[in-house]
Amino acid sequence: MGIADLLREVDGSGEFGVCLGRLDGVPVFEHDAERTHYSASTMKLPVAMAMMRKVEAGELALDQPVTVHNDFTSAAGGRFGVNPAEDEAPATWKQMGQQVSLGWLATEMITRSSNLATDLVLELVGVEAADAELGGGPSAIRRGIDDAAAQRAGISNEMSPAGLARVLVAVGNQKDASGDYLRDLLAGNQWNGEIPAMLPEGTRVEHKNGWDTRIRHDGGIIRPSDASPFVLAVCTTSDLPDAEAQKLIASIALEAWNHRHDLEAIR
């Protein structure tokens, strides 16, 4: 069954986008790839990229101390805090009022998808710098996680499969210590129910996923031991049960894997 067949099976139940290609950035399969979805936690990758750009420039340091707090400037004006009930990464919350390193927060942000860690990093990096990593186009970072006032005002973070694939290609081709650092963060992701789920055990997948009500996304660099690496990004906004949305993404990844020696043949 091809990727197009998998998408036909869920036709009418929501919006589904796919972008598949090699690390040269040329897509070999696209389906609604430029249509944006609410980004959920996929925006954390551009935040990490912007952070490393500032580290390279000497504006930030991975070992600099950051006091953990939960009070941030809203994109709509005023202040907001992260809802702990919607943050599935408890370690950052246990450090409230204490100092931790920026590098520790970045690890929590990517490997555990901590919302609180994300807003702490974003506060230092800046929304504009994180958004700039997307390179323009319809994808955008406009606010922090759980900025409810901004959300009510229509200020949202958006991501398309093509936009997610583009930042993954950038990370995959970054030939320096910062690139190694980012790729290792992505490979350490502890939430592996989408792209990696059906791939052979031990396959290196450098990925960042995101989820919310009706939302399930994942984008990653897949590195087979017997073929060239490739990039896959899938965004879903649908009425599918969450487990089925995860299975859809995993099935698309498996179909890509099965064509890893000839990605151009995929349908």
Same domain, 130 and 83: yes
Same domain, 169 and 75: no
- Confidence at residue 117, expressed as pLDDT on a 0 to 100 scale: 98
Confidence check: pLDDT of 147 > 80: yes
Confidence category of residue 47, pLDDT binned at 50, 70, 90: very high
Among the three residues 158, 182, 206, which one is the final residue of a domain in this structure?
A: 158
CB atoms within 10 A of CB 189: 21
Same domain, 139 and 184: no
Same domain, 186 and 168: yes
Provide the residue range defining the domain that includes 72. 42-158
- Interval 90-102: pLDDT, tens: 999 999 999 999 9
Same domain, 72 and 20: no
Same domain, 14 and 64: no
- Interval 177-233: pLDDT, tens: 999 999 999 999 999 999 999 999 999 999 999 999 999 999 999 999 999 999 999
For residues 218 and 209, is the Cβ–Cβ distance under 8 A?
yes
Does the predicted TM-score (pTM) go above 0.75? Answer: yes
Same domain, 135 and 170: no
Same domain, 133 and 239: no
Query: What percentage of residues in the chain have a pLDDT greater than 70?
Result: 100
* Placement of tokens 């069954």 in the chain: 1
Confidence category of residue 238, pLDDT binned at 50, 70, 90: very high
Among the three residues 111, 131, 158, which one is the final residue of a domain in this structure?
A: 158
What is the mean predicted confidence (pLDDT) over 126-134?
Answer: 98
Confidence category of residue 125, pLDDT binned at 50, 70, 90: very high
CATH number of the domain bearing residue 153: 3.40.710.10
- CB-facing half-sphere around the CA of 104: CA atoms within 13 A: 14
Partners of 221 in the β-ladder: 206, 231
Among the three residues 158, 185, 212, which one is the final residue of a domain in this structure?
A: 158
CA distances from 7 to 31, 155, 245, 265 (A): 9, 30, 11, 17
Query: What percentage of residues in the chain have a pLDDT greater than 90?
Result: 99
Same domain, 100 and 192: no
- Confidence at residue 254, expressed as pLDDT on a 0 to 100 scale: 98
How many domains is the chain built from? Answer: 2
Same domain, 1 and 75: no
d(CA 69, CA 117): 9
What values do phi and psi take at 109, rounded to 5?
-65, -45
Same domain, 12 and 93: no
Same domain, 49 and 154: yes
- Interval 161-172: pLDDT, tens: 999 999 999 999
For residues 232 and 186, is the Cβ–Cβ distance under 8 A?
no
- Confidence at residue 1, expressed as pLDDT on a 0 to 100 scale: 77
Confidence check: pLDDT of 83 > 90: yes
- CB-facing half-sphere around the CA of 109: CA atoms within 13 A: 25
H or E segment to which residue 118 belongs: helix 115-125
Confidence category of residue 108, pLDDT binned at 50, 70, 90: very high
